[in-house]
């Protein structure tokens, strides 16, 4: 038996289907009834699960306790993406991003760890290349992912001697609804910026949106991402980390070896190019 959080759409849904195809009974965490109806199939049991709601996490724990099957893995995939400059993102949204992308993962891990210990299972935390390299306007999202990486390292060193393996998966560009929503969400705080903030950050926000759209369009499919996650969940001796997508490993590698200032200049150059492409497209679309 495997739990997959954030299984309503995209990578989570594809992972649930791939694991079910491999013969696992999957408890697929969804937040809405119509998502449950959409994903329900052979081997997939939808579970009403918002990882920020203790009563729903508790109900999942009880469901697992009543099942004679061992809990093989927890795939923590639930998450949200909010992008805005550090100065301009309201503190309520900072706290919400961390609540969903970090504290919710910790809460469900704490709740299910006794079952994972009994079954010698594993924890698969879905991070991001943003957990290794933080782009402008990614402060909240990358901050939570950096923290998730650290928590995963600590957890791995605590529970590996007890028979539970901990794996981090770091996707790059993946063509999912979350990425599309992230672009739209990035513009919401921008509409509330002061004129001074808009002057400071308006152009970088547009450049980042262009890069996000490009990275998503050229990214791997959710099914491809699901196969990597399934490998992390099922292979006998998993690596501690897996990347997804052609862009993930190079970006993480550069972040590891390049001096900060060099990486800053590289990112700034990329943004200038993106800004130029965006401006050219805008001029082209405005021609009669």
Burial class (CB in 10 A: 0-12, 13-18, 19+), 51: buried
Q: Give the closest residue to 178 by CA, choosing from 230, 232, 141.
A: 141
| Cα distances (angstroms) measured from residue 118 to each of 65, 71, 155, 192, 231 | 11, 8, 16, 50, 22
Burial class (CB in 10 A: 0-12, 13-18, 19+), 220: buried
Please say whether the beta carbons of 72 and 119 come within 8 A.
yes
Q: Structure tokens of 222?
A: 């959710």
Please say whether the beta carbons of 49 and 31 come within 8 A.
yes
**What is the gyration radius of the CA atoms in the chain, in angstroms?**
20
Burial class (CB in 10 A: 0-12, 13-18, 19+), 172: buried
Q: Which of 138, 141, 201, 242 is catalytic?
A: 141
Q: Structure tokens of 261?
A: 């200032």
Please indicate whether residue 201 is annotated as part of the active site.
no
Q: Which residues are catalytic?
A: 141
């Amino acid at each position: 038996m495997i739990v997959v959080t954030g299984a309503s759409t995209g990578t989570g849904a594809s992972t649930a289907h791939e694991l079910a195809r491999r013969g696992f009974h999957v408890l697929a965490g969804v937040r809405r009834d119509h998502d449950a109806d959409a994903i329900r199939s052979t081997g997939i049991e939808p579970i009403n699960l918002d990882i920020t709601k203790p009563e729903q996490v508790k109900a999942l724990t009880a469901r697992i306790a009543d099942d004679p099957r061992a809990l093989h893995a927890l795939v923590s995939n639930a998450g949200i993406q909010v992008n805005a400059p550090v100065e301009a993102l309201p503190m309520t949204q900072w706290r919400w991003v961390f609540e969903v992308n970090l504290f919710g993962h910790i809460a469900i891990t704490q709740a299910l760890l006794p079952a994972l210990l009994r079954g010698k299972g594993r924890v698969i935390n879905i991070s991001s290349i943003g957990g290794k390299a933080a782009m402008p306007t990614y402060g909240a999202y990358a901050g939570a992912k950096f923290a998730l990486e650290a928590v995963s390292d600590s957890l791995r060193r605590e529970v590996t001697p007890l028979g539970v393996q901990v794996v981090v998966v770091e996707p790059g560009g993946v063509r999912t609804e979350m990425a599309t929503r992230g672009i739209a969400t990035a513009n919401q705080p921008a509409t509330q910026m002061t004129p001074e903030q808009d002057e400071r950050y308006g152009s970088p926000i547009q450049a980042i949106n262009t890069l996000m759209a490009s990275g998503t369009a050229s990214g791997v499919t959710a099914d491809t991402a699901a196969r990597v996650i399934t490998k992390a969940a099922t292979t006998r001796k998993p690596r501690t980390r897996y990347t997804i997508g052609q862009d993930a490993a190079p970006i993480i590698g550069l972040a590891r070896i390049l001096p900060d200032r060099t990486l800053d200049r590289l990112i700034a150059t990329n943004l200038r190019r993106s800004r130029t492409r965006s401006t050219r497209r805008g001029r082209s679309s405005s021609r009669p």
